[in-house]
Structure 1
Amino acid sequence: MQLIDKVVIFESGREEYAISIQSIISIEKVEFVNPIPLMPAYMRGVTKARGELIPVIDFEAVLYRRPLKESENARLLVVQTEAMPLGFLVKEAKEIIDIPPDSLKQLGIAAYEKTRYFTGIAAFSERLITMIDPDILVSSLEGMKDIQEYMKSNRAPSA
């Protein structure tokens, strides 16, 4: 079993999820998201983070098929995936913690096609945290290839 060290814990719905800190570029306050017409329901639009245009994925829409309600606590997790950098819009980024390998349990439902990106559950006495692999998540979302093409065609040429 791979040793997972630090993860960013975030909330979506009433659940806690985690992504390895190695995938996280930054955690930002949500400023302005520019909507793009005719994109999948989970795609909020694009925003600028650290000088780069990135697509914004509404995590609530991916997991629960409903848009995230705007709130002061909402955060944008800027994540580097194999495909491209993305922003995951989440209800709240809570903390960065260590996940000891002995607290990590494999998921029986991980084989379920629609949630292959759930890679395990960190079980603590007071809480359960679902581990997410952002690369698997991105590759499983319908329409991501179109979004990648859109981002490539709209990327400003480097000076």
Structure 2
Amino acid sequence: MENQHAILFQVNQEEFGVGIRYIQAIERMGNLKEISGLPKEVRGITNIRGEMIPVIDAGVILHHQPLSINEKSKLLIFSSNTGPAGLLVTEAKEMIEINEDDIKPFHLQADEFSGVLERNGQLIIQLNPDVIVQKIEGFEHISDQFEAEETAAG
């Protein structure tokens, strides 16, 4: 099979990976605007190069607890059916090349995990951002919600 690239990132002390084909950019976590009524997985929105991006908290998705935001926090920007979104992670580590054959199936009832990779004696779970977005109830209406809030504030 062919080689592919993945971004390794941390959520708390655990390492995860995501295929580079999903990621448009890696950004520092800037100002976060919290908006009431969003699903618990969505921390709020942030402005990335003039575009309002919903911020999905990987800590809530993976550990049911929001991440602390600090200078190492990063946003993995990816495209979803409703436009760009950002996955808030503790830290983005590196880009690695992996052989597709090295990714083994993940045998749990969790569609957001696309497989597991062993690297340097450590197991790295591969995430599928498309499935993460699909599982967030009401995510497709978030852009409508923050546009309504901006209109009310303006």
TM-score normalized by structure 2? 0.88
- Partner SS state of residue 96, structure 1: strand
What amino acid is the match of 1:84?
G
Report the alpha carbon displacement of residue 38 of structure 1 after superposing the two structures with TM: 1.5
Aligned pairs for 1:79-158 (under 5 A) are 79-109=78-108, 112=109, 115-150=110-145
Q: 1:6 to 1:152 in 2, by over 3 A?
A: farther
Partners of 2:13 and 2:2 lie apart in 1 by 27
Partners of 2:49 and 2:24 lie apart in 1 by 9
Structure ranking higher in strand proportion: 2
Matched residues, percent identical?
Answer: 32
Q: 1:144 to 1:101 in 2, by over 3 A?
A: same
Contact 1:83–1:135 (Cα < 8 Å) also in 2: no
How many residue pairs end up in the alignment? 151
What amino acid is the match of 1:139?
Q
What amino acid is the match of 1:11?
Q
Q: 1:152 to 1:120 in 2, by over 3 A?
A: farther
Report the alpha carbon displacement of residue 102 of structure 1 after superposing the two structures with TM: 2.7
- Partner SS state of residue 69, structure 1: coil
Q: 1:135 to 1:153 in 2, by over 3 A?
A: farther
Contact 1:103–1:124 (Cα < 8 Å) also in 2: no
Partners of 1:152 and 1:136 lie apart in 2 by 24
Corresponding residue for residue 17 of structure 1 = 16
Q: 1:25 to 1:69 in 2, by over 3 A?
A: same
Q: Unmatched 5+ residue regions in structure 2?
A: none
Report the alpha carbon displacement of residue 68 of structure 1 after superposing the two structures with TM: 0.4
What amino acid is the match of 2:91?
E
Report the alpha carbon displacement of residue 152 of structure 1 after superposing the two structures with TM: 6.8
TM-score normalized by structure 1? 0.85
Q: 1:39 to 1:105 in 2, by over 3 A?
A: same
What amino acid is the match of 1:122?
L
